[in-house]
Structure 1
Amino acid sequence: MTIDTPVIKAGTAKIAGRIISPNGTINNNVFINITVPHPISGEYAKYKALVDGSGKFSIDVDVETDISLIGIYPSLNPEKSLLVKLTNGGVTNIDIAYNSDFDIEKIDVRPDMNKNDMTRGFEVMGKMIEYRSGRKPEPLYNKSTEYFLNYARTIVTERLEIVKNDTLISKELKEILSKDFRLFLFKAHVFDYEEYMTGNYRNTNDDKSKKPDIQKIDRSYYRFLKDFNFNDPQYLNCFTFLEVQKAILQNEILDLPVIGDSDIPSWLASVKAILSDLVGFDNGPYYEILAANAYARQLNEEVKPLTAKQKENIANYWKNGEIAKILFRKNQQVAELDKFKSPVVVNDISSVPADKVIETIVAKHKGKVVFIDLWATWCTPCLNAMQEFRTAKNDFRDKDVAFVYITDGSSPRKLWEEKIKGIGSEHYYLTAAQWDYIMDHFGFEYIPSYLLYNKEGMLVKKITAFPGNEEVKKVINGLL
């Protein structure tokens, strides 16, 4: 497929098509999961298109650029995901035929796209992420930051050989995947220096009982941002770009101001004073996107609509431009969610013995079904599950159900306090001992994990990984 340079544009696109199963029949629980990156409103918009008995599906999705690269995950084989190009205002038709092993046998797509780009894009990205050189982990916690940054650049260059040597995908997609992978690796391993070095110490040191003496970094550490040339509009096609923007806005060392009711030129002036020497420029479209993302931080993290002053500032600065249209569209969606959001209640339970924590929480909600969510601010599947469940959760707002969210010190306190504003309900910030006891006692190895108690305070279900809205609603309704 030809992947042109994207331009910011508010609109919608239609995805339609047909799923052809090996036996020719489609049962009533086949669907298509769709992920659309929204680089301006700073979120991954999730959609589900149901497939009818004849295999047909159709859905309209919001897009924020004239062309968008999106992920499609058919339920017949969700591991075999497709990278698809959408055109703002256009229709993309995809017919997917499966063989008896539920591998994709044939794809027909209109407008025409490079089939290898569609089927191999995510696969090649996955290979770069999962690649291991076989070298023994190297101690980095006691090296200079310059050494570490060069080490990270070397790892990126080494893994980019995978996409460089692929003979099937297009040159245009190679450029995008290369940018996206560089963003991914730096976001995962370089942004949070202390977290990475703590892990590196554990992986390379026999005595794991000690805590490493990790050097403190300052703003100058983030000079690696110059490597990216963020004014390149092709970043709008990178899945990880909006995560990096979020990381920059939330970074405690960079300490960018919250946009609040500030007028946009004043906010941008203060941001450029902090960032310009680190990113390597002091003007360009990047700063426009960052300002939009600063509003998106409030809309997404706090699920808090724009104030009258913020609306005025956006209209004065962007007039009737595309960024203003996108932000106002997102604000309308958030205003609907905000009507049903329950207030945040933060509970201090730090003095309760570890083996009594869950018992204490459940006892507080006697006579109610209690749904306990174990999560963390850094856990993307946890946050995705919460976003997916937001609307379904509203169905229980007047019923005898308590939603309880617990995390521990692995979630930075300041970031946790910001995120829970958008979640609502009851929250607990546990000690390490309390968290470890719960994970061990209930046999949980991963998060998100969930505990569901009936009105009598009896545990009826343990779940690891979010099972989907319908399953959760079914179980809760069964207990009411």
Structure 2
Amino acid sequence: MNKKTIITILIALVAMAGQAQKHLPAFQYSKEPAVLSGQIIGNNQQITESVHVRYSLKYTSGMGDALRQTSAAVDADGRFTLSLPTGTTVDCHVAVGECRFICYVVPGQTVTFTLDLNKLETQGLANALTFSGQLSDFNHDLVYATEQGIDPETIYRDIEAKRNMGQLANELPEKSEQGYFHYLDSTYQRVNELIDNDREIGQAYREFAKAVNRYEWGAMMPFCGQSIQYAGIDTDEAYDAFEARLKQRLEVYMKDDPWANPVLCYVMWSMPETFVDSYVSHPVKLPTDYQQCHLASKFLEQMGAQRFLLTEVQKDSVLTFLPELAQDVLDYNERMERELSFVSEQGMSRVCTLPDNADDILATILKPYNGKPVLLDLWETTCGPCRLAFKDMHDKKKDLADRIHFVNIASENSDLATWQRLIPNYIGDHYRLTKQQLQSLHSQLPCNTSGVPIWVLINADGTIHHAFTGWRNVDDMMKEINQVLQ
């Protein structure tokens, strides 16, 4: 083989290597877990004992099933291996001590990284991290772009935070509808320029980042009405005209069918209904692979969030249209069927009412339960964390049913039909208060009552042990419950 031939082969190999990550791998499903492995380099004082990873599934029941967390011990050489049953291509939030970064993994394949803690202190994260295996160049670019402040997700997350805090309007050059959209459009252009102008970013991440930018730009449009006080929108006619203008903007956004871009599968956490509701000219075209994911999420949401089991016709549809995900969906249906039948058969859910002339709402509610601790759960059907708490606490409630009373309180703010449909599956006694009764009850509670869920633990003698707002996890709740059971 002559020198010219060798050079030609080498050039071809380099070109092939360069093209290997020109595009992202297909969004895919697999029963095989993704593997994340690596090595932490540093002295004994620097190396942490474990690596923690948080990731989300792309199809969930709508009851908090998406979030997954796992960890692996780091051995004496700083090495670790994690098996992640993701089911789909997904991003992972990795924590090594105080160091945090995001990388993508693919089911059935291995992503490996080396983290040099010495370089981390002096040269920054992008220089301290070296990836190998699947998506190595892309993952490095992701870390680099985030560190450089040109990651679209981070940029729009900051905008969303300002919007939620009511700060966004104060930063706009013109506090008007036109000013908001000019700000949004200029942000979109600015982010694209940042991505294009940084020559260190490879093609795979560049393609990804620009798709993220387009997605986030579109996702911000429907929220504009919550971000600013629009001059002149003080009548139904004016609001209808504004809605029409918003739809026109969404038409422009959707004209190239952005969901047909497979890259968007990586970033499409919310369902496409965000745009479908406002986009009317023709149906949204989902990528073929993602279509299964979307349909699976709808069936799981029906079972998990709405508490409706699959019909026989739906089971046939699952087998026909979801070949890769059918068994997961059907297994979840069987699990829900067992759970719901247990609550019904044991009579562990009751509807209760208060007398119309009740003055002391708290005392009236607690009167039937004197002599045993009580856990009051103030919730509403529209509250996601409230319904997640019912799901998470289900098994504990079954175990503790003879030691503590569970009392669940909703109000007229919850749709009656939805409340009636849900409560047969939720363990405990159920009250639905008028707004006046709820306000009276709130005045008796020693905690912030501006949100839900609100938890009130009552001692066996009827005194309040502890009251608090929000849902964290089962372990924290059981610590509180065990104190009143002692």
Q: Which bin holds the TM-score, normalised by the shorter protein? A: 0.5 to 0.7
- Which of 103, 123, 126 pairs up with 2:157? 126
SS at 2:159's partner residue? helix
Structure 2 partner of 1:296: 300
Q: Does 1:240 align with 2:269?
A: yes
Structure 1 partner of 2:90: 68
Q: Does 1:456 align with 2:461?
A: yes
CA contact (8 A) 1:163 1:177 kept: no
C-alpha offsets along residues 435-475 of structure 1, whole Å, 9 cap, x if unaligned?
A: 45555643315444422223333221223343432222222
Structure 2 partner of 1:468: 473
CA contact (8 A) 1:35 1:46 kept: yes
C-alpha offsets along residues 197-249 of structure 1, whole Å, 9 cap, x if unaligned?
A: xx977x999xxxxxx8656979x97956654434444443224323x54x799
- Which of 165, 174, 195 pairs up with 2:209? 174
Shift of residue 334, structure 1, vs aligned partner: 3.8
Task: Tell me the distance in 2 between the aligned counterparts of 1:406 and 1:434.
Answer: 11
Structure 2 partner of 1:35: 55
- Which of 323, 340, 357 pairs up with 1:321? 323
Q: Does 1:157 align with 2:185?
A: yes
C-alpha offsets along residues 125-166 of structure 1, whole Å, 9 cap, x if unaligned?
A: 4223124252589999xxxxxxx7x88755642443564354
Shift of residue 87, structure 1, vs aligned partner: 0.5
Task: Tell me the distance in 1 between the aligned counterparts of 2:441 and 2:117.
Answer: 43
CA contact (8 A) 1:5 1:233 kept: no
Shift of residue 301, structure 1, vs aligned partner: 0.8
- Which of 90, 97, 102 pairs up with 2:109? 90
Task: Tell me the distance in 2 between the aligned counterparts of 1:44 and 1:308.
Answer: 24
Give the letter aligned to residue 322 of structure 1: E
C-alpha offsets along residues 14-33 of structure 1, whole Å, 9 cap, x if unaligned?
A: 44557789944757xx7736
Structure 2 partner of 1:400: 403
CA contact (8 A) 2:372 2:405 kept: yes
Shift of residue 358, structure 1, vs aligned partner: 3.4
Shift of residue 114, structure 1, vs aligned partner: 3.0
- Which of 370, 374, 379 pairs up with 2:374? 370
Give the letter aligned to residue 270 of structure 2: F
CA contact (8 A) 1:392 1:473 kept: no
Task: Tell me the distance in 2 between the aligned counterparts of 1:394 and 1:296.
Answer: 23
CA contact (8 A) 2:34 2:109 kept: yes
Q: Does 1:46 align with 2:67?
A: yes
- Which of 13, 29, 34 pairs up with 2:34? 13
Task: Tell me the distance in 2 between the aligned counterparts of 1:362 and 1:98.
Answer: 57
Q: Percent identity?
A: 16
Give the letter aligned to residue 181 of structure 1: E
CA contact (8 A) 1:302 1:420 kept: no
Task: Tell me the distance in 1 between the aligned counterparts of 2:22 and 2:328.
Answer: 25
Unmatched runs of 5 consecutive residues or more in structure 2: 1-20, 163-167
Give the letter aligned to residue 63 of structure 1: T
Matches within 5 A, 1:260-339: 277-280=280-283, 285=288, 291-315=295-319, 317-318=320-321, 321-332=323-334, 334-335=336-337, 337-338=339-340
Shift of residue 97, structure 1, vs aligned partner: 7.1
SS at 1:117's partner residue? helix
Task: Tell me the distance in 2 between the aligned counterparts of 1:97 and 1:126.
Answer: 29
Q: Does 1:4 align with 2:33?
A: no
SS at 2:471's partner residue? coil
- Two-structure CA RMSD over aligned residues (Å): 4.9
Give the letter aligned to residue 185 of structure 1: M
- Return closer, same or farther for 1:19/1:45 CA change in 2, 3 Å cut-off: farther
Give the letter aligned to residue 36 of structure 1: S
- How many residues of Structure 1 are paired with residues of Structure 2 in the alignment? 420
C-alpha offsets along residues 272-297 of structure 1, whole Å, 9 cap, x if unaligned?
A: xxx99454468974876654443222
SS at 2:68's partner residue? strand
C-alpha offsets along residues 387-426 of structure 1, whole Å, 9 cap, x if unaligned?
A: 5x24653563544233344444555555555665665544
Task: Tell me the distance in 2 between the aligned counterparts of 1:356 and 1:204.
Answer: 46
Shift of residue 34, structure 1, vs aligned partner: 1.8
SS at 2:360's partner residue? helix
SS at 2:326's partner residue? helix
Task: Tell me the distance in 2 between the aligned counterparts of 1:333 and 1:16.
Answer: 33
Shift of residue 374, structure 1, vs aligned partner: 3.7
CA contact (8 A) 2:453 2:471 kept: yes
Task: Tell me the distance in 2 between the aligned counterparts of 1:232 and 1:288.
Answer: 16
- Return closer, same or farther for 1:175/1:416 CA change in 2, 3 Å cut-off: farther
Structure 1 partner of 2:365: 361
SS at 2:90's partner residue? strand
Give the letter aligned to residue 49 of structure 1: T
CA contact (8 A) 2:29 2:324 kept: yes
- Which of 131, 137, 142 pairs up with 1:117? 142
Structure with the higher fraction of residues in helix conformation: 2
Unmatched runs of 5 consecutive residues or more in structure 1: 141-147, 206-211, 255-274
C-alpha offsets along residues 231-269 of structure 1, whole Å, 9 cap, x if unaligned?
A: 444443224323x54x799xxxx7xxxxxxxxxxxxxxx
Task: Tell me the distance in 2 between the aligned counterparts of 1:470 and 1:293.
Answer: 28
- Return closer, same or farther for 1:248/1:277 CA change in 2, 3 Å cut-off: closer
CA contact (8 A) 1:39 1:241 kept: no
